[in-house]
């Protein structure tokens, strides 16, 4: 099933799940728990989605839930950028890099995998939060040496890096542009406790080289880039707009749709017609 077909199914699910005018004439209320297990779209199984962080190109994955996969939604592979920096061990210069040990998203032993994902409506935004396991080192640090005989490069394991209690939070702004809705580019924040165990000379080059904020910004950029794909955001917003105009707001001469955050953490969508002042 193609992506736009899956998004159309999602729009139908929304149409069947939400009351057409829960807050008054020409007003549609979208509850904060829309995607929760007990919410109107709990059948999508957002809690069963996973974020997997692995090494190398395409080694990371935004994995959809089995329920979403049955509707035609597909996993999104992405890449965590390499963290490399030139360092000096006394008179010698080399490259020190941090990386996640594995590149197979199906291998939880070598990749970093979320254990829980939650999504909610938060006023005029959609928020996604992923929590990760907190056992043992998540990354390793290596530096390379060149064999003087063969000229081959060998990477030496020098650091064990822990990023415990990792949490990734993503916020998509919901935008109203005239009579259409859109999703803005996501804002991503990552938080974790950071600890490094160094072996041998690597500790001499550690200070000021691979600080916590370098790892944090790399994860944030990678997840934001994966979720910024217009092919995923645009059709979803378009499908919801079409459903509004053909469903709860059908027959109205719309001038614009306005967003109004509500006290319960959800969102009211207000249909302003050409007859309104």
Q: Report pLDDT digits (tens) over 47-73.
A: 999 999 999 999 999 998 998 888 878
Tell me the whole-structure pTM to 2 decimals: 0.81
**Residue 222 structure tokens:** 């990678």
Q: Which helix (H) or strand (E) holds 29?
A: strand 27-30
- Alpha helix ranges (H) inside the chain: 3-17, 66-70, 212-227, 230-246
Sign of CA dihedral 195, 79, 188, 143: positive
Are residues 42 and 35 in contact, defined by beta-carbon separation less than 8 angstroms?
Answer: yes
Reported confidence tier of residue 6, pLDDT bands at 50, 70, 90: very low
Q: Quote the pLDDT of residue 212.
A: 76
What DSSP designation does 215 have?
H
User: Are 175 and 155 a contacting pair, CB within 8 Å?
Assistant: no
Neighbours of 211 (CB within 10 A): 13
Provide mean pLDDT across the span 88-100. 77
**What pLDDT is recorded for position 200?**
57
Q: Under DSSP, is residue 163 helix (H, G, I), strand (E, B) or coil?
A: strand
């Amino acid at each position: 099933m193609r992506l736009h077909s899956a998004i159309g199914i999602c729009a139908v699910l929304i149409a069947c799940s939400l009351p057409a005018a829960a807050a008054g004439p020409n007003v549609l209320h979208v509850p904060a728990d829309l995607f929760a297990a007990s919410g109107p779209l709990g059948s999508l199984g957002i809690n069963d989605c996973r974020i997997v962080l692995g090494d190398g190109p395409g080694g990371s994955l935004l994995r959809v839930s089995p329920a979403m996969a049955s509707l035609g939604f597909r996993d999104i592979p992405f890449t965590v950028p390499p963290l490399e920096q030139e360092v000096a061990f006394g008179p010698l210069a080399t490259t020190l890099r941090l990386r996640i040990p594995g590149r197979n998203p199906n291998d939880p032993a070598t990749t970093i995998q979320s254990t829980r994902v939650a999504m909610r409506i938060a006023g005029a935004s959609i928020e996604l939060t992923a929590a990760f396991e907190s056992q043992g080192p998540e990354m390793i640090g290596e530096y390379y040496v060149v064999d003087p005989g063969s000229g081959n490069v060998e990477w030496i394991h020098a650091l064990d890096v822990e990023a415990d209690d990792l949490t990734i939070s993503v916020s998509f702004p919901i935008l109203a542009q005239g009579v259409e809705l859109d999703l803005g580019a996501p804002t991503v924040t990552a938080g974790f406790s950071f600890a490094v165990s160094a072996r041998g000379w690597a500790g001499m080059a550690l200070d000021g080289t691979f600080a916590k904020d370098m790892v944090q910004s790399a994860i944030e950029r990678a997840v934001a880039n994966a979720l910024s794909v217009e092919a995923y955001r645009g059709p979803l917003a378009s499908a919801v707009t079409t459903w509004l105009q053909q469903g709860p707001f059908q027959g109205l001469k719309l001038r614009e749709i306005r967003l109004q955050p509500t006290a319960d953490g959800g969102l009211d969508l207000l249909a302003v017609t050409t007859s309104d002042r």
